[in-house]
Amino acid sequence: MPIAPTAGGRRLPRRGRARDLALAVVSAALTVPLLSVPSDAARTTAPRTGFEVSGGARWTGQSEEASLLAGLARSGDRVSVRRIGTTARGRPLRLVRIGSAGPDALTVLLVCGQHGDEPAAREACLSTVRDLAYATDARTRALLARTEILVVPTANPDGLAAGTRANGDGVDINRDHLALRGAEARAVAAVLRDHEPEVIEDVHEYAATAPYYDEDLLVLWPRNPNTEEWLHDEARALALDRVRPAAEKAGFDTGVYGVWTDPATGRPVKRSAGDGQERLLRNIAGLTHAVGLLTESRTDALSAEERADPALNARRRVTSQLVALDALFRYADEQRASIAAATAASRAAGAADRGPVFLAGSDEGVPEPGDTLTDPPCGYRLTKEQFAGVRDELALHAVTSRPDGDGVYVPLRQPARKLIPLLLDGRAAYHLTNGQPDTAC
């Protein structure tokens, strides 16, 4: 599907004065309220992050994060925090739960700071957790009564400590959501399996390339061609019709992640990123039946003032992410019926075992014939040795199997139908093992 040009074929103008005004307001409280402004009492009693205390002059330390989350968990029954893994360097991976976990609740997952050198993403999530924990207004309380909000505030603690994109073993976590070799991706996979979130936001930052690729906030949806149409359309509408307009209204320029545009016309020039790779969290979201959203705030200074004052740059980056999060929560609350219908239909489609499976490609065009399983196999047979090597990964991906002679049989007729060939077919780019296709249905 082609990318829509910005602002009807012309690039949106920079709104520097509007942004400066927004930042001036934000600099006092260093937060964008979620859904509505917290009460004065909540502002007085709510703890603040290290980033907020410093006015954006430094990022919140990991010990400060631990204290903040522990305090929120003790403050009442609205928030719980648990350890979901441990990194190679011994640092905890935490999951925060806020709101309702009832059978009719919609589940929203935020995964923040997969790359350790993108700290503004994490700061936005930390202050969001705090704001939700202390919110007293009716609208936010209603949201929390019917929504389970899960947050992984620091998805890459080792990378954050080192200031590196990768984790402590040099692995890019956002390229590990299929193979699940690292503790970080495994922890996220377990959350996807156990909580089955209907909406997932992956919060990042990016380095701009002026003048073709330098918007304040970029968005994208799952582009893997195996994403069911209902989910794809919901996710694309969230990105383009909800998040972008909200950010622009707040004074931020927006664009589509990976798409370079002509500054004179706003027309796409080329795509440099944002494909359909199944190992990215954004695309795994679609393959696991969730409405996925990627947001990327611009790290580079926008002005001489930001170059002179790094805190101003940091506040702008965090604020743009907070605006996006506010739009996400509004969307989830208002569109929960259509979201639930789309995710349920996606799961049911896998169990129905109909239609092609694509081993490569994206939503922008028809995959190559060699990348299309027009008539997919009934399943894949694995030897005992093969299964031993991928048993844990299949379980984390919620893939079921059954004994088959001396080995194991993985049927396609299950909700993970379109994910299974990407894991087990030797023709898939990132397959875990080369299973034997069973065509004798």
Are residues 398 and 271 part of one domain?
Answer: no
Of the residues 345, 368, 399, which one is the last residue of a structural domain? 345
Are residues 166 and 55 part of one domain?
Answer: yes
Return the closest-CA partner of residue 287 out of 352, 222, 334: 222
Are residues 392 and 256 part of one domain?
Answer: no
* Residue 111, in any domain of the structure: yes
Neighbours of 262 (CB within 10 A): 14
Are residues 357 and 300 part of one domain?
Answer: no
Are residues 405 and 275 part of one domain?
Answer: no
C-alpha span between 378 and 380 (Å, rounded)? 7
Q: Is the pLDDT of residue 116 over 60?
A: yes
Are residues 71 and 36 part of one domain?
Answer: yes
Are residues 384 and 331 part of one domain?
Answer: no
C-alpha span between 308 and 301 (Å, rounded)? 9
Q: Is the pLDDT of residue 19 over 70?
A: no
Residue 408: beta bridge partners? 382, 403
pLDDT for residue 31 = 43
* Residue 203, in any domain of the structure: yes
**pTM, rounded to two decimals:** 0.92
* Residue 304, in any domain of the structure: yes
Are residues 23 and 115 part of one domain?
Answer: yes
Residue 415 structure tokens: 């909700």
Are residues 358 and 324 part of one domain?
Answer: no
What tens digit of pLDDT does each residue of 157-182 get? Answer: 999 999 999 999 999 999 999 999 99
Are residues 175 and 51 part of one domain?
Answer: yes
What tens digit of pLDDT does each residue of 265-285 get? Answer: 989 999 999 999 999 999 999
Of the residues 309, 329, 345, which one is the last residue of a structural domain? 345
Report the CATH number at residue 193: 3.40.630.10
pLDDT band at 77 (very low <50, low <70, confident <90, very high): confident
Backbone angles phi, psi at 414, to 5 degrees: -165, 165
Q: Is the pLDDT of residue 346 over 50?
A: yes
Return the closest-CA partner of residue 217 out of 293, 136, 107, 134: 293
Q: Is the pLDDT of residue 2 over 50?
A: no
Are residues 252 and 212 part of one domain?
Answer: yes
Are residues 293 and 398 part of one domain?
Answer: no
* Residue 260, in any domain of the structure: yes
- When divided into structural domains, the chain yields a total of 2
Of the residues 301, 329, 345, which one is the last residue of a structural domain? 345
* Residue 392, in any domain of the structure: yes
**Structural domain range at position 405:** 353-438
* Residue 179, in any domain of the structure: yes
What tens digit of pLDDT does each residue of 142-161 get? Answer: 999 999 999 999 999 999 99
* Residue 272, in any domain of the structure: yes
Q: Is the pLDDT of residue 369 over 90?
A: no
CB 342 within 8 A of CB 291: yes
* Residue 1, in any domain of the structure: no
What tens digit of pLDDT does each residue of 26-69 get? Answer: 443 444 445 544 444 455 578 999 999 999 999 999 999 999 99
